[in-house]
Structure 1
């Protein structure tokens, strides 16, 4: 018989500033499939939407999507250095 010992440890999850934020706006006008594309800051995506509406009166509704990076750390430990996705194996976790 095999025995196992489980140790439960508190963790926290926080925004990782080094990973940045990605913003993208999508025009929701029926038949329009235009988007700002992924932008490294929200202002560039918003500027695109303002230009798009200026060129296409009536295109006034947009869906905004934001994504960022998050870091999980054990309670009481310092966060590890930022590791790029290509140089780190997630151990089979879904991406």
Structure 2
């Protein structure tokens, strides 16, 4: 068996759309430090939490929103690994 070394291959970086890698979001009140629950894929729940928090505490109007997105690298057209992309998560590849 012969082994080859790839000197250059094109890859594509993008958002991982796997359901287990859903984007999550949360917010922290910058006045009191209270934090919303992390919400997977539902930005509206975090926005509603912030609005309700301000409604209960009218002086609390500034928030830090944090979003986490997972990325995935996939072989681009012409990359030899594209043919075996179905095994992209295997540790031995």
Normalization by structure 1: what TM-score?
Answer: 0.70
Higher helix share: 2
Runs of 4+ in 1 over 3 A off after TM superposition: 78-83
Gaps of 5+ in 1: 90-95
Please give the alpha-carbon distance, in whole angstroms, between the structure 2 residues aligned to 1:68 and 1:82: 19
Question: Considering only aligned residues, what root-mean-square deviation do their CA atoms show, in Å?
Answer: 2.8
Q: What secondary structure, in the 3-state scheme, does the structure 2 residue paired with 1:34 have?
A: coil
Normalization by structure 2: what TM-score?
Answer: 0.72
Q: How many aligned residue pairs are there?
A: 82
Q: What whole-Å deviation, never above 9, does each CA across 1:11-35 have from its counterpart, x for those lacking one?
A: 1110112221101011111xx1101
Change (3 A) 1:17 1:5: closer
